Amino acid sequence: MDVLLLIRRYLRTRRIALVAALFVAVSVAAMILITSVMDGFRHRIHTKVRGVEPDLTFRMKSPPRDHFDKVEEMLAGQMEDKGGTIVSLSPRLVTVGFLFSKVEQARGPVEYRKGIKILGVDWERIWDVIPLERIIRDCKDPFMEFQGDLRQDRDVFTEEAVPGVLVGEALARSLRLSTRPGVLFGHTNDATNVTGRLVLEPGHDDRWRVDGANLGCRVVGVFDSGRDDFDGVHMIMDRWELHALRYGDGADRPDCTTIHARVTTEARGRLDDLKAELAARFPRLEVESWKDRNRGLMDALDVEKRTMALVLGFIVVLAICLIFGLLYMMVVEKTRDVGVLRSMGFSGRRVVVLFLAYGTVLGIMGSVLGAVLGVWLVKNLNLVMENLGIEVFNPAVPYRFHTIPTILDPAQVMLICGGTVVMAMIAGAVAALKASVIDPVRCLRYE
């Protein structure tokens, strides 16, 4: 009880101690806020990436002509209806090319062109692997909405003489493409897809060359995945149309580049282990997860979060050093008080408890106040920014974020607060050890 009374007295008389606790609170609040914002950005980017990525990708090391059929046959026992973890499979043929559009402007026709990545898909299967219907409907521009009945049917895209294609919203804007021809001046839904075609040199069975090949197409839909890096360069079309364009009719070339798979919800939680199991079971297959394909982005986000936590950790350490300096100066200034306490029977152990508890109380006060402040800021960050007139995202720049995303992790808050209290205890312990070795006779010999 006497220790608590002394701590209370020190808190009331040493106002600088409250300043130290306030500094700790600001540091803790900053750590909670920054880590929550970093988690929010990471989760938002993670969600956008997952929106257009399959869980797993398969490819035979030496793909045959019937690539998809062979892989589907190999994985038949891994399908969900056979007790496995794979829900659906979808083939994809990938190549690069150019997309051209010619738009009537007031000064005459203007041609736009851009290098793209062409994805050839099976219209009946792709819907079960990636949420294609959702990202098509996410495009809210009335001149880019899907025309007609959006069905999981190849005929929707191939029923006319000119094949239908899907393009990303950013790509459509850069090439002035629309799904409504003749409605909006300065736009068109007609485009020309140009890519390289592999052909055999005349008179040779194993010598290939690349010739240009083009195909007229019409834009029937525009998708918005939330990723400008994807929407700005990707076009989706029928796989067999692309195969004929790329290799020619009847060419003995692999019918797809990769096979994409969606796994069960339970298997998504152990995707790395599932990938390793399938790779070991099927040595002829190359297996990739969506994390492998986006490793650089995910690693960059992790490094950024760790770096920011390290910087903010130094700020907390600085606040704890302030507490240590305060306690140490108190030991020096309170030498007479310590001597009196020791002469009255206060043992060295109780002196240690006094200053250790004092440092702990300051750490707890700062941590609790910082936690309350940090949680409030996380919950109201966008409102605070709006009231302060701070414009984080410039409306003139097409960011994919309109508000600052935050995710509050209670375990992370507890870890930050607990670590701060422990460091405050250590600071108090160092000062307490100094006080415990003071000789009461030397403290009082001049009194």
Band of pLDDT at residue 93, cut at 50, 70 and 90: very high
Averaged pLDDT for residues 287-312: 79
pLDDT digits (tens, 9 = 90+) for 95-144: 888 898 888 777 778 888 889 999 999 988 888 888 888 888 888 888 88
Averaged pLDDT for residues 64-76: 91
pLDDT digits (tens, 9 = 90+) for 353-411: 776 777 778 788 888 999 999 999 998 888 888 887 777 766 555 556 677 888 888 88
Among candidate residues 146, 168, 219, the one with its CA nearest the CA of residue 398: 168
Residue 446 has pLDDT above 50, yes or no: no
Q: How does the average pLDDT of the chain come out, rounded? A: 79
Higher-pLDDT residue of 354 and 283 is: 283
Averaged pLDDT for residues 425-435: 69
Q: What is the pLDDT of residue 67?
A: 93
Q: What percent of the chain has pLDDT over 90?
A: 14
Which of 18-27, 80-89, 147-156, 303-312 has the lowest average pLDDT? 147-156
Distance separating alpha carbons of residues 443 and 343, to the nearest angstrom: 10
Higher-pLDDT residue of 170 and 348 is: 170
| 235 and 193 Cβ atoms separated by less than 8 Å | yes
For residue 252, how many C-alpha atoms fall within 13 Å in the half-sphere facing its CB? 3
Residue 441 has pLDDT above 60, yes or no: no
Distance separating alpha carbons of residues 390 and 313, to the nearest angstrom: 26
Distance separating alpha carbons of residues 37 and 381, to the nearest angstrom: 9
Higher-pLDDT residue of 323 and 310 is: 310
Q: What is the pLDDT of residue 262?
A: 92
Q: DSSP readout, 380-432?
A: THHHHHHHHT---S-TTS--S-SS------HHHHHHHHHHHHHHHHHHHHHHH
Q: DSSP readout, 296-324?
A: HHHHHHHHHHHHHHHHHHHHHHHHHHHHH
Question: Which alpha helices (DSSP H) does 129-285 contain, by range?
Answer: 132-137, 155-158, 169-174, 228-231, 239-247, 265-268, 271-281
Task: State whether residue 337 is helix, strand or coil.
Answer: helix
Output the pTM of the full model: 0.71
Band of pLDDT at residue 91, cut at 50, 70 and 90: very high
The per-residue b/e assignment along 219-254, b for 16 or more CB within 10 angstroms, e otherwise, is bbbbbbbbbbebbbbbbbbbbbbbbbbbbeeebeeb
SS3 content of the chain, % helix, strand, coil (to 5): 50, 20, 30
Averaged pLDDT for residues 348-357: 70
User: 203 is written with which tokens?
Assistant: 């008179």
Residue 447 has pLDDT above 60, yes or no: no
What type of residue is 92?
R
How many CB atoms are located within 10 Å of the residue 289 CB? 21
- What letter does residue 151 receive in the DSSP assignment? -
Distance separating alpha carbons of residues 410 and 184, to the nearest angstrom: 51
Higher-pLDDT residue of 386 and 434 is: 386
Pairing assessment for the beta strands 208-223 and 164-168 based on DSSP bridges: parallel
Averaged pLDDT for residues 24-40: 85
Band of pLDDT at residue 235, cut at 50, 70 and 90: very high
> Residue 430 contacts by C-beta under 8 Å, 6 or more apart in sequence?
324, 327, 328
Task: State whether residue 336 is helix, strand or coil.
Answer: helix
pLDDT digits (tens, 9 = 90+) for 158-193: 777 788 889 998 898 888 888 876 655 677 878 887
> Residue 354 contacts by C-beta under 8 Å, 6 or more apart in sequence?
3, 6, 7, 432, 435
| 97 and 116 Cβ atoms separated by less than 8 Å | yes
